[in-house]
Protein backbone atom coordinates (compact mmCIF):
# COMPACT_ATOMS: atom_id res chain seq x y z
CA UNK A 1 0.00 0.00 0.00
CA UNK A 2 1.30 3.45 -0.94
CA UNK A 3 -0.64 6.52 0.23
CA UNK A 4 0.13 10.24 0.12
CA UNK A 5 -1.40 12.89 2.39
CA UNK A 6 0.09 16.38 2.19
CA UNK A 7 3.88 16.16 2.55
CA UNK A 8 3.84 12.56 3.81
CA UNK A 9 4.00 9.30 1.89
CA UNK A 10 3.26 6.09 3.79
CA UNK A 11 4.35 2.75 2.38
CA UNK A 12 3.16 -0.46 3.97
CA UNK A 13 4.91 -3.65 2.90
CA UNK A 14 4.26 -7.25 3.90
CA UNK A 15 7.20 -9.63 4.08
CA UNK A 16 6.05 -13.10 5.03
CA UNK A 17 3.75 -12.60 8.02
CA UNK A 18 5.38 -9.32 9.07
CA UNK A 19 4.03 -5.89 8.10
CA UNK A 20 6.25 -2.81 7.92
CA UNK A 21 4.91 0.73 7.79
CA UNK A 22 7.36 3.47 6.83
CA UNK A 23 6.48 7.18 6.76
CA UNK A 24 8.44 9.40 4.37
CA UNK A 25 8.50 13.21 4.53
CA UNK A 26 8.90 15.41 1.44
CA UNK A 27 12.60 16.14 0.75
CA UNK A 28 13.59 15.88 4.42
CA UNK A 29 13.60 13.23 7.07
CA UNK A 30 11.66 14.07 10.21
CA UNK A 31 12.88 12.95 13.63
CA UNK A 32 11.84 9.37 14.32
CA UNK A 33 9.65 8.54 17.27
CA UNK A 34 10.71 5.48 19.25
CA UNK A 35 10.36 2.44 16.98
CA UNK A 36 9.06 4.45 14.00
CA UNK A 37 10.45 3.93 10.50
CA UNK A 38 10.89 7.27 8.72
CA UNK A 39 12.73 8.68 5.72
CA UNK A 40 12.36 11.26 2.98
CA UNK A 41 10.76 11.22 -0.46
CA UNK A 42 10.97 13.27 -3.65
CA UNK A 43 9.98 13.14 -7.29
CA UNK A 44 12.37 12.41 -10.16
CA UNK A 45 10.09 13.23 -13.07
CA UNK A 46 7.24 10.72 -12.73
CA UNK A 47 9.27 8.42 -10.47
CA UNK A 48 8.79 8.34 -6.70
CA UNK A 49 12.13 8.21 -4.85
CA UNK A 50 12.37 7.21 -1.17
CA UNK A 51 15.42 7.15 1.08
CA UNK A 52 15.85 5.99 4.66
CA UNK A 53 18.62 5.04 7.04
CA UNK A 54 18.51 2.36 9.71
CA UNK A 55 20.52 -0.25 11.56
CA UNK A 56 20.89 -3.85 10.43
CA UNK A 57 22.83 -6.10 12.79
CA UNK A 58 24.66 -3.10 14.26
CA UNK A 59 25.62 -1.55 10.90
CA UNK A 60 24.14 1.69 9.54
CA UNK A 61 22.40 0.98 6.25
CA UNK A 62 20.96 3.41 3.70
CA UNK A 63 18.16 2.23 1.41
CA UNK A 64 17.07 4.14 -1.69
CA UNK A 65 14.06 2.94 -3.67
CA UNK A 66 12.71 4.22 -6.97
CA UNK A 67 9.06 3.41 -7.78
CA UNK A 68 8.11 3.43 -11.48
CA UNK A 69 4.48 2.94 -12.47
CA UNK A 70 4.10 1.37 -15.91
CA UNK A 71 1.66 2.46 -18.62
CA UNK A 72 -1.93 1.71 -17.68
CA UNK A 73 -1.05 1.44 -13.99
CA UNK A 74 -0.93 -2.36 -13.99
CA UNK A 75 2.81 -2.80 -13.40
CA UNK A 76 5.00 -1.30 -10.66
CA UNK A 77 8.80 -1.57 -10.82
CA UNK A 78 10.82 -0.94 -7.64
CA UNK A 79 14.57 -0.40 -8.03
CA UNK A 80 16.47 -0.65 -4.73
CA UNK A 81 20.03 0.24 -3.71
CA UNK A 82 21.12 -0.73 -0.19
CA UNK A 83 24.45 0.64 1.04
CA UNK A 84 26.27 -0.37 4.24
CA UNK A 85 27.93 2.62 5.96
CA UNK A 86 30.76 0.79 7.73
CA UNK A 87 33.31 3.61 7.45
CA UNK A 88 35.97 1.95 5.31
CA UNK A 89 36.46 0.67 1.77
CA UNK A 90 38.59 -2.08 0.30
CA UNK A 91 39.91 -2.05 -3.26
CA UNK A 92 37.81 -4.22 -5.54
CA UNK A 93 34.90 -4.59 -3.13
CA UNK A 94 31.56 -2.86 -2.93
CA UNK A 95 29.49 -1.91 0.07
CA UNK A 96 26.13 -1.90 -1.70
CA UNK A 97 23.63 -4.22 -3.31
CA UNK A 98 20.94 -3.63 -5.92
CA UNK A 99 17.63 -5.25 -6.73
CA UNK A 100 14.81 -4.75 -9.22
CA UNK A 101 11.33 -6.08 -8.39
CA UNK A 102 8.37 -5.96 -10.77
CA UNK A 103 4.82 -6.23 -9.43
CA UNK A 104 1.83 -6.87 -11.70
CA UNK A 105 -1.75 -6.12 -10.72
CA UNK A 106 -3.97 -9.15 -11.06
CA UNK A 107 -7.29 -8.79 -12.82
CA UNK A 108 -10.28 -9.07 -10.50
CA UNK A 109 -12.19 -12.31 -10.95
CA UNK A 110 -15.94 -12.17 -11.56
Residue 18 in any domain: the answer is: yes
What average pLDDT does the segment 27-42 reach?
74
Residue 70 in any domain: the answer is: yes
Quick one: CA dihedral 38, 43, 48, 50, positive or negative?
negative
Q: What domain count does the chain have?
A: 1
3-state SS, one letter per residue, for 47-89 = EEEEEEEEEECCEEEEEEEEEEECHHHCEEEEEEEEEECCCCC
Q: What is the pLDDT of residues 10-30, one digit of tens each?
A: 999 887 899 988 888 888 766
Between residues 35 and 80, the one the model is more confident about? 80
Residue 40 in any domain: the answer is: yes
Residue 36 in any domain: the answer is: yes
Residue 74 in any domain: the answer is: yes
Residue 109 in any domain: the answer is: no
List the domain range (segments joined by +) for residue 96: 2-104
Residue 110 in any domain: the answer is: no
Amino acid sequence: MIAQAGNEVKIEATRGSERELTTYFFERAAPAAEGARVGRWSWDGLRLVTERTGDVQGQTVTAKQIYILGPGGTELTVETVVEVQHGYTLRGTKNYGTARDVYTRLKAQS
